[in-house]
Structure 1
């Protein structure tokens, strides 16, 4: 594909569930792309076959890129790829923008942004809304924290993989909004799991429950992917791990503590996930929280 001369070269670190689809959309829409993988070689090889270049370190990737997307687990991983002899800061050209698409701790994001500015670089946070399927389709949403100038630079690349791009405010505000969004979704998950368990215990099967909720005011996209697992046992209906969900609600707790507000519902949601993760369920996906809560109450949500 012919490259557009007005598009900045892009680097992408973290081509997993979400990142692979995002990176492929950047390629398909004409961006020169360099990727770096981690443990799983398959998505890297597929992207290279489609026209991407591969870097062996964040430093090498940074030397080839003017806008760098990070789609990793959280703040600790972001800091790891930024710093050190082989990190992005060591290899980046002045003016390079690092865009953190992870769900990270906003206080860490602001600190890292200050460190990047001191090194002549820029940072934006652009956490994601959506699923791996939507990532592949280029239909994610992005909540962006950045200066107006940086936002204008990264918007074309973000629009390659997102159908909704919203400039929330300065650096850190994207991650704040993402944590609020994930509080809602993980809160739904905890409530669904408890409601389904209670229903089964008193004779209302998940199938009956769904026949009432689906299509009504309490229906939504998150409910549908959650229930696709509950009803059809489709493990891949919503590929977001319980360990990652727990990380996010812990970040939310940190933000609430820093803001000085009581968040009793947030703590209850956190404890639902913490119990499952502490008992070895961390790599299960979010809808599978329903099986954990049901098991605690000696019921099964599996259709007999």
Structure 2
């Protein structure tokens, strides 16, 4: 059976590795032009084609993956004047790998269904290094028949694939996943700062936590900045973290549930963004909380 033609929009930190694995594993790939030429030119050297607009990509693809920042971008890519919907046809599948607002995803699904286009959500678990290695995880929301079509392409870049349920399920699960991980980030930042206020250094903290039941992969990459000052140990911006926690809060509001912990976590990232630190990475929240508490980085 011939492989679906793949379109890819969003070849950034995560998307480049995903797209690279697709083209290297034999899929005919078309990527969207972008002002950041380095990842696009690399994919073209590997055999990908390039399109100028989402509309053009839709015409050249059977499946289009999106890996962008927010629901606002997803809506523009799909519904815009030169968007995927304008160039799509019956049978096209759009798979949104972003961390998005589930209510937006469901509305888009209804719009696209009117034109015979299927929407699925497959947000990601993992790191840019995992994306390059083809070892991400995917939590998929899709109709069973759509999932069956998508699975071979997702297998090109993911080693763990969980079909959660219908459209929107993946985005809901991803928000819960990020609530946990970003909650860890807020806890670590506050605990490390409190430790310093009472005379315990980050290295003291790490000697106890590392290797204990409280250790995990997220902790290790987070501490890659705190201990080793590796700026790329955990590449996820504070602005994206704040956006994701706003989506978590909105999901809680839509469900009618009070979620005080999620709102407290959201406030930690709001502090970072309002301080002008939004483009720094999540472990650097420790610096923001430390500065507010009067703990200078030079003291660490």
Measured against the shorter chain, the TM-score band is over 0.9
Figure out how many residues of one structure are paired with residues of the other and give that number. 300
Match of 1:141 among 137, 140, 149: 137
Separation (CA, whole Å) in 2 of partners of 1:75 and 1:267: 20
Corresponding residue to 2:25 among 22, 29, 33: 29
* TM-score, structure 1 as length reference: 0.97
Equivalent positions of 1:244-283 (< 5 A) are 244-283=240-279
Runs of 4+ in 1 over 4 A off after TM superposition: 301-304
Question: Does 1:181 pair with 2:209?
Answer: no
The one of 285, 293, 296 equivalent to 2:281 is 285
Question: Which region of structure 1 is more displaced relative to structure 2, 77-86 or 60-69?
Answer: 77-86
| TM-score scaled by length of structure 2 | 0.98
Q: CA deviation at 1:55?
A: 0.3
**What is the CA deviation profile of residues 28-81 of structure 1, one whole-angstrom value per residue up to 9, with x for unaligned ones?**
111000001333111000000110000000011110000000001111100101
Match of 2:78 in 1: 82
Q: CA deviation at 1:279?
A: 1.2
Match of 2:94 among 90, 98, 102: 98
Query: In the TM superposition, what whole-angstrom CA distance separates every residue of 1:7-43 from its partner, at most 9, and x where no partner exists?
Result: 1000000000000000000011110000013331110
Work out the CA distance in 2 between the residues paired with 1:88 and 1:79: 10
Unpaired segments of 5 or more residues in structure 2? none
Please give the per-residue CA displacement for 1:229-282, whole angstroms capped at 9, x wherever unaligned: 000111111111000000000000000001011100000000000011011011
Q: Return the offset for 1:303.
A: 6.2
Aligned ranges 1:100-249 → 2 under 5 Å:
100-249=96-245
Query: CA 1:223/1:302 → structure 2, altered by over 3 Å: closer, same or farther?
Result: farther
CA distance in 2, matches of 1:302, 1:65: 52
Q: What is the DSSP-based 3-state SS (H/G/I as helix, E as strand, rest coil) of the residue aligned with 1:232? A: coil
Moved more, 36-45 or 100-109: 36-45
Between 17-26 and 77-86, report the one with greater CA deviation. 77-86
Contact 1:15 1:37 in 2 (8 A): no
SS across alignment from 1:215? coil
Structure 1 portions without partners, runs of 5+: none
Is the contact between residue 83 and residue 90 of structure 1 (CA under 8 Å) also seen in structure 2? yes
